[in-house]
Amino acid sequence: MAGSPKIWLITGSSTGFGRSLTEAVLKHGDTVIATARKPEQLEELIQHYPDTIKTVRLDVTQIQEVHDAVNAAIAAFGRIDVLVNNAGYGLIGALEEVSDEQIQRNFDTNLFGAIHMMRAVLPVMRQQGSGHIVNMSAIAGFSNELGFSIYGGAKFALEGVSEAVHGEAAPFGIKVTIVEPGPFRTDFIGRSLVQAEHQMEEYQPTVGKFLHFLSTIEGKQPGDPVKAANTIIQVVESENPPLRLVLGKYAYHKFREKIESLTQELDAWETLAANTDFEDA
């Protein structure tokens, strides 16, 4: 299917990365099943691209809505070439500051929502003998920040699932790419970043400091979401897409910094820690 028009199913299409990607895919000449909890926010795109966009209401935490969206895509276009699991939001707070409900809801959206989407779309792609799953993670899903224990933890888990599915789905012609953006100029900090319910004075010098930093870069993030969207399209069009796509200089720095730290730690403890096998192993 490389080079020919594709059918994309994108979750969280109304704002942020999802909106930028939906617009870029439509401009590219492909077709989009654009899903959102408030699909009326996509009305402008329907007017500009009446033949190549179908909007569907979807809350990824509702399994029946997940299957309804996939069925609507198949009924309308007969196939799904690309699934983009983009729907999600941030949660900032120390682990003991966030509530049980906040933890559950964040994992339900950022992790289980993507899992349900993959489970619904994989049979379709497997029958087609082709497809590409793009899971939107974050650099916090590889090198986490204090205050992002739950948000980053959900993204870490999504990356672990994605790595396994990458191998499981490969024999059926299905590709998987994890996208790890750094700070991009979307509404993530302003609209999509929830704060802990029970903020504690003890964490102000750490988590509080990081939250203040985020507020200072709002609207000044270095990443361009339009360039990111076009890069994702190029990756989907490529014959050998990467398992991980790191976006932005900040994310590349964090990624390499963690790799170097891991290597140093492995080397420092190898003699002691590797000598834990049975003697005859």
Catalytic residues: 137, 151, 155
Query: What single letter denotes the amino acid at residue 172?
Result: F
- Residue showing tokens 């976006």: 247
Burial 185-216 (b: 16+ CB within 10 A, else e): bbebbeebbbebeebeeebeeebbeebeebee
268 Cβ contact list (under 8 Å, min separation 6): none
Regarding beta strands 82-85 and 131-136, do their DSSP bridges make them parallel or antiparallel, or are they unpaired? parallel
Strand partners, 57: 36
Residues 76, 54: Cα–Cα separation, whole Å: 8
Please choose, from the candidates 134, 152, 135, 151, the residue with its C-alpha nearest in 3D space to the C-alpha of residue 143. Answer: 152
For 140-195, where are the E strands, in sequence order? 174-181, 193-195
Please choose, from the candidates 48, 109, 120, 51, the residue with its C-alpha nearest in 3D space to the C-alpha of residue 80. Answer: 120
